């Protein structure tokens, strides 16, 4: 069974250690202790909580083929002619999208606005630590 220390969970999800401890205290995450006696979060419990966070706890009323969605905040909008570069951050993830000026205006994207990026890719590379 995979286990994560509180600090590791916080870094993985882009939240503070205190937030993870609150989730533990609220019963949202299952914990135990490792061989060193340090509190750890059960990997399966963490996976279920992450899925819950991703949906906001609700079922999405829209069905789509893209499974990778990242809700975050727009941190940069660079419009040049008919094209634009939009950068956003979702937790620890930085996402960059190239789109038309028209799309930026239609979506009313500006620094500080909330947005969701949908990612559909035929190639996804997964790596794990040794």
Q: What is the pLDDT of residues 111-120, one digit of tens each?
A: 998 888 888 8
Whether the per-residue pLDDT at 57 is higher than 60: the answer is: no
Q: How far is CA 22 from CA 28, 56, 94, in A?
A: 9, 17, 26
Residue 61 is classified by DSSP as S
**pLDDT-derived band of residue 56, with 50, 70 and 90 as boundaries?**
low
For the chain, give the percent of residues with pLDDT over 70. Answer: 90
Would the pTM count as exceeding 0.85?
no
Question: Domains along the chain?
Answer: 3-55 (1.10.1660.10), 68-119 (2.40.50.100)
Whole-angstrom distance, CA of residue 119 vs CA of residue 95: 10
Q: Which residue has the tokens 């794990």?
A: 128
pLDDT of residue 50: 84
Burial of 29 by CB count in 10 Å (0-12 exposed, 13-18 middle, 19+ buried)?
Answer: buried
Give phi and psi for 26, each to the nearest 5.
Answer: -85, 0
Predicted confidence (pLDDT) at residue 101 exceeds the cutoff of 90: yes
């Amino acid at each position: 069974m995979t286990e994560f220390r509180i600090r590791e969970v916080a870094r993985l999800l882009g939240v503070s250690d205190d937030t993870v401890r609150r989730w533990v205290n609220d019963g949202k995450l299952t914990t135990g202790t490792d061989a060193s006696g340090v509190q750890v979060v059960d990997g399966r419990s963490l996976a279920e909580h992450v899925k819950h966070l991703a949906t906001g706890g609700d079922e999405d009323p829209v069905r789509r083929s893209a499974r990778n969605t990242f809700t975050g905040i727009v941190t940069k909008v660079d419009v040049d002619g008919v094209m634009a570069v939009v950068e956003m951050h979702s937790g620890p993830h930085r996402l960059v999208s190239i789109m038309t000026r028209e799309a930026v205006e239609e979506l009313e994207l500006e620094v500080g606005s909330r947005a969701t990026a949908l990612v559909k890719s035929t190639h996804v590379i997964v790596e794990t630590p040794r």
